[in-house]
Structure 1
Amino acid sequence: MERLPKVAIPAIIAAIVLIIILAKSAVTVSSGQAGVLYKTFGGGVVTDEPALGEGFHIIAPWNNVFIYEVRQQEILDKMSVLSSNGLDIKLEASIWFQPAYESLGKLHQEKGEMYKERILLPAIRSAARSVVGRYTPEQLYSSKRDAIQQEIFEETQKFVKDQYIQLNEVLVRDVTLPSTIKDAIERKLRQEQESLEYEFRLVTASKEAEKVIIEAQGKADANRILSASLTDKILQDKGIEATVKLSESTNSKVVVIGSGNSGLPIILGNQ
């Protein structure tokens, strides 16, 4: 086996060193991510320059890049809070957030990669306890869910306002009450619903009765007006008209034997 030339060994070593340097210098930032540059000999975390965007970057081999997810993210948190009357409430909330891209360097320098655990989760829990403590279990279970959700968002927003975190939404997914309280609330709601239905039936029945009375009154008034207008002359004329029509019928046989007290013919039969 032939010996390598003396110049070949340093060349191989130089190539290996170059490969290592290039490997340390090349940084690829994936889609939806950004990089924070740390200069080992240049003042640490770079906060006065934009974060490294998506794509391929070359940096000094002695520097480092910390990769952050900058797309919207979600944290699902379950917590125990107290209502206004001291009852233990289980709350499940979903937090939509993302780091503030333009302040990513400051976020890394001041809060670090654990910023969700250090800042965001304590903020949402503190806000939830503060807001839920203003409401009764009945309000939490029924009508105030949307209002509570909005208030928790606003309270959390105050905590993270200057923490380089962009809070997009807080969603209250579930509110779990103690079983005894939940059953009592459901019974109360059923009773209220039954009471409303009963009141509706009473109102409907009252309107129906009023309608019948109005119709009867109208008929009575009509009959009274009609009776007042029927004079003896009108009745006699009507009787004559009826007698003439009956006599003209091909199927009737009329026998006239005289006149009654009203002066009209007396009809004994029409067959």
Structure 2
Amino acid sequence: MILFVIGLLVLVGGFIFAGMAFSNEGTSFGIGSTVVALLLGGGLIGVSCVYAQDAGEVIVLKNFGGSIVDRPSVDAGFHVKAPWQDTITYDTRNNVISYVGDGGEDYDGGTARGNQVTINDKNGASANIDIQVNYSLDPKKAVDLYRDYGKQENFVKAVAAVDVRSVPREVAGSFDTIQLLTQRGEYADAVEKALKAKWEDFGLEVTQVSVQEIRYPKSITDKYAEAQAAEVEKQKALNAQETAKVEAETRKIEAQGEADANKVLNESLTDKVLMQHYIDALAGADSLTIVPDGSQPIIKTE
């Protein structure tokens, strides 16, 4: 719009110079200046009728007077518009809202940055989190957003950035301290689900929620570390008990097996069996001396 106004003024000035030059039989310099003015003015007006659009952008056209063209431009490339129309750009993809550490507040189109978010969990304990939300915008919703909020930056300040702070706080109330310390992924999934539901009517699609860190006061993390150490020692004791139980059971089984074997052996050694073994042993001897039962033989050895 500004280029159009400037071009129009230059073009009018060129016509004025042209009239003065011809009426007063102006010099070649005056005629040349007139031609330059006319060309410059026409060029500025022509440029004001063309705009370029990058991939990942949607252009909303606003007429002089404030009315909005209902159909936004969604295709990348060069486009033609009326010279009295202004272009408003909305980023449709790769938008990031990031709250990390003690960073300062900053807004740029659909992107926002700021400091960490403070939450309170189910147990009432306070923690600071670093969170990043990646989202995209449905191009068809750009006209409605501009009509309600103006530029994209205004919408981000009023809605998106506020929600990225408020929703994690609301969701944290459903998680206790231990869950937040040990189930960060589940917490991030719950935040993502809540944001998707809240942003659906705005045409925003959440592509990723990343909770990069959850920082509790040292007093809480120390107690958690102690509890973890106690749990490890408890598990070690339970494992030792289980090992001792298995070893005792093994020894019992081995003893029972030995007793059963001895029982079978004893039951198999009857008097007849023992006598047969005795006879078999005598039969295999090199010399045999039969001594009556109850006698006391004298054996002479040399």
Q: Does the pair score TM above 0.5?
A: yes
Deviation of residue 184 (structure 1)?
A: 0.6
Note the alpha carbon deviations across 1:201-224, whole angstroms, 9 max, x for none.
101211110111111112112211
**Structure-2 change in CA distance of 1:53 and 1:260 (3 Å):** farther
Determine what percentage of the aligned residue pairs are the same residue: 24
**Structure-2 change in CA distance of 1:66 and 1:230 (3 Å):** same
AA in 2 matched with 1:99: L
Note the alpha carbon deviations across 1:23-56, whole angstroms, 9 max, x for none.
2222111122221111115x5222x214242001
AA in 2 matched with 1:110: D
AA in 2 matched with 1:86: G
Note the alpha carbon deviations across 1:161-180, whole angstroms, 9 max, x for none.
22232222322221111111
The question of 1:28 aligning with 2:52 is answered yes
AA in 1 matched with 2:276: D
The question of 1:18 aligning with 2:42 is answered yes
Note the alpha carbon deviations across 1:228-260, whole angstroms, 9 max, x for none.
121122122223444555x4xxxxxx5543369
Q: Provide the alpha-carbon RMSD of the alignment.
A: 2.3
Aligned length: 250
Note the alpha carbon deviations across 1:76-108, whole angstroms, 9 max, x for none.
222011122322201111101012211111122
AA in 2 matched with 1:104: A
Report the Cα distance in structure 2 between the residues aligned to 1:10 and 1:152, rounded to whole angstroms: 65
The question of 1:180 aligning with 2:219 is answered yes
Report the Cα distance in structure 2 between the residues aligned to 1:258 and 1:76, rounded to whole angstroms: 109
Report the Cα distance in structure 2 between the residues aligned to 1:159 and 1:228, rounded to whole angstroms: 84
Equivalent residue for 1:58, pick from 80, 85, 99: 80
TM-score, length of structure 2 as denominator length: 0.75
Deviation of residue 9 (structure 1)?
A: 4.1
After superposition, residues 129-148 of structure 1 pair within 5 angstroms as: 129-142=169-182, 144-148=183-187
* Local SS of the residue matching 1:258: coil
What 5-or-longer segments of structure 1 have no aligned partner?
Answer: 248-253, 262-271
What 5-or-longer segments of structure 2 have no aligned partner?
Answer: 1-25, 100-115, 294-302
The question of 1:258 aligning with 2:290 is answered yes
**Displaced runs of 4 or more, over 6 A:** none
Aligned to 1:44: 67
* Local SS of the residue matching 2:241: helix
TM-score, length of structure 1 as denominator length: 0.83
Deviation of residue 113 (structure 1)?
A: 1.7
Deviation of residue 6 (structure 1)?
A: 6.3
Moved more, 16-25 or 107-116: 107-116
Aligned to 1:68: 90
Aligned to 1:158: 197
AA in 2 matched with 1:74: V
**Structure-2 change in CA distance of 1:127 and 1:6 (3 Å):** closer
Deviation of residue 7 (structure 1)?
A: 5.2
Instruction: Give the conservation status (yes or no) of the 8 Å contact 1:37–1:52.
Output: no
Instruction: Give the conservation status (yes or no) of the 8 Å contact 1:106–1:164.
Output: no
Aligned to 2:14: none
Report the Cα distance in structure 2 between the residues aligned to 1:139 and 1:260, rounded to whole angstroms: 92
Note the alpha carbon deviations across 1:101-143, whole angstroms, 9 max, x for none.
111111222123212222112112111111112322222111x
AA in 1 matched with 2:68: V
After superposition, residues 226-265 of structure 1 pair within 5 angstroms as: 226-244=265-283, 247=285, 254-258=286-290
Report the Cα distance in structure 1 between the residues aligned to 2:289 and 2:208, rounded to whole angstroms: 102
* Local SS of the residue matching 2:88: strand
Deviation of residue 191 (structure 1)?
A: 0.8
Report the Cα distance in structure 1 between the residues aligned to 2:52 and 2:278, rounded to whole angstroms: 113
